[in-house]
Structure 1
């Protein structure tokens, strides 16, 4: 069963940072409801990307393993950069990141979503977490981690 990780993302001059504050959305039934409700607010408010597609082909070949060289649940930032010995994003992941809503757009949409105040927990907590990340200048994505 896949795990869904609500993830703050920030693009910098050095690369892309996936924040250590990411959190797994459980139970999965509520996670799917959360995605549906946000999609109704705006289709790109919480885009999903498969974690196993983040790494570039070159990075996968250098690692020589079938598993990712990072863990989403390790409580640490994950950085992708173009410098040697760094994790590198795939072209598909780069294109995905280029299409993310700006933090200011995400913040406005989260505030609009909160207005009817119909969010029961844990959905309300997740929306509040997203709003805080948008206010801090992050973008937000949902990473799908397929179980083995």
Structure 2
């Protein structure tokens, strides 16, 4: 958070799997209001398309649990909020599979001034643990992406 504040950069989030936990975790950090612009929780595929601009054809072709969808979510929220950086999450928290993918299948993305990167996570645990670990993994990874981009 300090680095983004020093640079005058901002952050937004597009969350499916985590349903707002990324933004809430960022907001728990003192000084978050200088950086966090906001976010969109888009659980339903229709909202991913309507609110964040994820191509409907992409969801029809690959489903919602896919790295390309994570990229589209991050880029969509970044474009709509005008943030410097955007984070996204999509995946299967469990307890069972969804879209033919096992629980713990997660895709996250970071979109920024130099492009968008994505990362696949294979997590285990309860639904709550998968969601919490997704937040922890994403925020830790995003810090390294943001630091490398400066």
Q: Shorter-chain-normalised TM-score: which range?
A: under 0.3
* TM-score of the two chains, using structure 2 as the length reference: 0.25
Higher helix content, 1 or 2: 2
> Higher Cα Rg: structure 1 or 2?
1
Higher RCO (C-alpha 8 Å, min separation 6): 1
